[in-house]
């Protein structure tokens, strides 16, 4: 790993993000006058699942910067079918073929693996349901451009809050910038607890849960949130909650049902926004955002509304990605302080890979991944997979020097040096592996 990469939006400090936005705004003033920035440089789009919009906007950005583009729009059908690993592909492409790699891959943590092996910068163009940082940057950029700031703005997150990677990353980023979140999920697609917990613990954010009665008002008053005519149902998605700042919503971010991830059954009566959705008083200044592609969750009647931002969000992908590419390629430098480096990553010593996520690259490409972890809390000891960030299911932990094992909540567990830590499902496994319980 040399130079910089963009795997997660957490790789960027808030100050850097704002500088990136200033630069994107400069680029957007005339997209066609920046071809002197990257002549002779090449980006490679390595897409292991198709995503035309993401791919084309990165490629457009590179062309606008005067660079060249290599395209592998469906790697799964080409070298992957011959059994070539992501790891080997990244090593090869990064050695002279391209000067920067844009990677899209269905396994979580794939971009992290690519970073470990690449000789050139890597941009994560989406790794499974893990991260898609440039999408989030485009969303934030739109809010920043339109509202002038991100701090203190009130954003409604609506639709599929459970499976949408976009929403999770967006929520974390909004929380970092001090925005307020109001969740209006589709029934059964509530924001997962681990996301709420992280919002609370890492960013001190407490998403407002919409009060059913007020939301009901909102819906009946304004048609802001309506359902299929066939099966109207209760909007009682939240039962507690207060302080829904309905008097000043800045943006409503709507998502489509992620049917490719959870099947099509519930799509029929998914939350839909009709032509009048932005009319009620609390939404009088609200922007309507959506990551696209949309299906039926936003009526085409809203397209002409100047506060409908979804096409602008997508369009702004070009200047934002130009700023990212130019930064990672060293053709534009941010003066802002960088993020304090992430917690150190440690190798898992012996035993099975403790990552519980079967779609993690550490499982799907295990020959080339050494399982790693990061410690996220000391007491009780908690750790996440070094690739996909899923929390490890830790029973007891051992010390590779003393060969003792301990409960993960115990005081001795806290004292084991991270590079001596060994994870076990349970005491039995620890014993099998030759570890002993400490003398009490």
- 295 near its own copies, judged by CB under 8 A: yes
H-helix or E-strand containing 116?
Answer: helix 110-117
The rounded distance, in Å, linking the Cα atoms of 38 and 415 is 49
Q: Which of 60, 266, 279, 376 binds its own copies (CB under 8 A)?
A: 60
Residue that the structure tokens 């997508």 belong to: 314
Active site residue 345: no
Determine, following the binding rule CB under 8 A, whether residue 71 of this chain makes contact with its own copies.
yes
Of residues 180, 307, 339, 152, the one with CA closest to residue 171: 180
Q: Is 432 in the site for its own copies (CB under 8 A)?
A: no
Q: Does position 195 bind its own copies by CB under 8 A?
A: no
214 vs 234: CA distance, rounded Å: 12
Active site residue 132: yes
Nearer to its own copies, 40 or 434 (CB): 40
Binding mask 171-190 vs its own copies (x if CB under 8 A, - otherwise)?
Answer: --------------------
Dig out the tokens for 35 from the structure. 């071809």
Taking the C-alpha atoms of residue 237 and residue 64, their distance in angstroms, rounded to an integer, is 45
- Which of 14, 15, 63, 212 lies at the binding interface for its own copies (CB under 8 A)? 63
Q: Distance between CA atoms of 187 and 231, rounded to whole angstroms? A: 13
Give the β-pairing of 251-254 and 287-289. parallel
Q: Give the nearest distance from C-beta 42 to its own copies in angstroms.
A: 5
Among 5, 64, 105, 132, the active-site one is 132
**Options 181-189, 255-263, 281-289, 324-332: segment touching its own copies (CB under 8 A):** 255-263
Exposure string for 120-145, b = 16+ CB within 10 A, e = fewer: bbbbbbbbbbbbbbbbbbbbbbbbbb
Q: Is 35 in the site for its own copies (CB under 8 A)?
A: yes
Site string for its own copies, 308-347 (x = CB under 8 A): ---xx-xxxxxx----------------------------
Structure token digits, residue 420: 């001596």
Kindly state the smallest distance separating residue 66's Cβ from its own copies, in Å.
8
Active-site position among 5, 55, 64, 104? 104
Q: Is 145 in the site for its own copies (CB under 8 A)?
A: no
98 binds its own copies (CB under 8 A): yes
Is residue 68 close enough to count as binding its own copies by CB under 8 A? Answer: yes
Using the rule CB under 8 A, which residue among 1, 3, 22, 74 binds its own copies?
74
In angstroms, how far is CA 34 from the centroid of its own chain? 29
- Regarding 70 and contact with its own copies (CB under 8 A), the answer is yes
Q: Burial, 408: exposed, middle or buried (Cβ in 10 Å; 0-12, 13-18, 19+)?
A: buried
CA separation for the pair 421, 336 (Å, rounded): 36
Q: Please confirm, yes or no, whether 338 is among the known catalytic residues.
A: no
82 catalytic per annotation: yes
Q: What is the dihedral of CA 24, 30, 33, 37, to 10 degrees?
A: 0
Of the ranges 41-49, 330-338, 379-387, 424-432, which one interacts with its own copies (CB under 8 A)? 41-49
User: Which of 123, 65, 135, 127 is CA-nearest to residue 94?
Assistant: 123
Residues that bind its own copies (rule: CB under 8 A) add up to a total of 67
Say if residues 68 and 38 touch (Cβ distance below 8 Å): no
Shortest approach of its own copies to residue 295 CB, angstroms?
A: 5
Tell me the β-bridge partners of 273.
298
Q: Residue 6 and residue 115: Cα distance in Å, rounded?
A: 9
Which of the residues 54, 134, 255, 372 is marked catalytic? 54
Rounded to 5°, the CA angle 164-169-175 comes to 125
Catalytic (active site) residue 284:
no
Cβ closest to its own copies, residue 75 vs residue 396: 75
- Binding its own copies (rule: CB under 8 A), the pick from 148, 229, 300, 434 is 300
User: By C-alpha distance, which of 143, 102, 120, 393 is closest to 253?
Assistant: 143
Using the rule CB under 8 A, give the single segment among 45-53, 124-132, 270-278, 406-414 that binds its own copies.
45-53
Give the number of other Cβ atoms within 10 Å of residue 165's Cβ: 21
Binding site for its own copies (CB under 8 A): 28, 31-33, 35, 39-42, 44, 50-53, 56-57, 59-60, 63-64, 68-75, 77-79, 81-85, 87-89, 91-93, 95-99, 256, 259-260, 292-296, 300, 303, 311-312, 314-319, 367-368
Residues belonging to the active site: 53-54, 82, 104, 132
């Amino acid at each position: 790993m040399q130079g910089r990469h963009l795997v997660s939006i957490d790789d960027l400090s808030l100050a850097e993000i704002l500088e990136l936005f200033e630069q994107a705004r400069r680029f957007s003033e005339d997209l066609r006058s920046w071809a002197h920035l990257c002549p002779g440089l090449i980006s490679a789009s390595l897409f292991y699942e198709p995503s035309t919009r993401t791919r084309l906007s990165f490629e457009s950005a590179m062309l606008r910067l005067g660079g060249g583009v290599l395209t592998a729009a469906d790697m799964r059908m080409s070298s992957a079918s011959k059994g070539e690993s992501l790891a080997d592909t990244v090593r090869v492409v990064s050695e002279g073929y391209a000067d920067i790699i844009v990677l899209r891959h269905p396994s979580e943590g794939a971009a992290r693996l690519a970073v470990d092996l690449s000789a050139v910068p890597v941009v994560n163009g989406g790794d499974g349901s893990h991260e898609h940082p440039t999408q989030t940057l485009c969303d934030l950029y739109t809010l920043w451009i339109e509202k002038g700031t991100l701090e203190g703005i009130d954003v409604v997150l609506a639709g599929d809050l459970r499976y949408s990677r976009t929403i999770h990353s967006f929520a974390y980023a909004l929380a970092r910038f001090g925005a307020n979140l109001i969740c209006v999920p589709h029934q059964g697609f509530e924001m997962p607890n681990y996301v709420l917990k992280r919002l609370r613990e890492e960013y001190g954010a407490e998403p407002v849960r919409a009060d059913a009665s007020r939301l009901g008002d909102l819906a009946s008053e304004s048609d802001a949130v309506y359902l299929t005519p066939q099966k109207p149902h209760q909007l009682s998605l939240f039962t507690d909650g207060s302080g829904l700042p309905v008097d000043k919503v800045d943006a409503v971010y709507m998502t489509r049902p992620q049917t490719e991830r959870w099947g099509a059954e519930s799509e029929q009566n998914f939350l839909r926004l009709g032509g009048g959705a932005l009319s009620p008083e609390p939404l009088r200044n609200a922007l309507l955002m959506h990551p696209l592609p949309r299906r039926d969750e936003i009526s085409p009647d809203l397209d002409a509304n100047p506060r409908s931002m979804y096409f602008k969000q997508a369009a702004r992908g070009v200047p934002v990605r130009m700023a990212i590419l130019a930064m990672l390629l060293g053709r534009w430098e941010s003066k802002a302080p960088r993020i304090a480096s992430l917690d150190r990553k440690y190798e898992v010593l012996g035993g099975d890979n403790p990552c519980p996520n079967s779609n993690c690259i550490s499982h799907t490409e295990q020959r080339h991944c050494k399982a790693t972890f990061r410690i996220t809390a000391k007491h009780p000891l908690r750790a996440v997979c070094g690739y996909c960030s899923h929390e490890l299911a830790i029973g007891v932990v051992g010390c590779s020097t003393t060969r003792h094992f301990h409960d993960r909540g115990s005081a001795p567990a806290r004292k084991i040096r991270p590079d001596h830590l060994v994870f076990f499902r349970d005491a039995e496994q620890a014993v099998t592996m030759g570890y002993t319980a400490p003398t009490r």
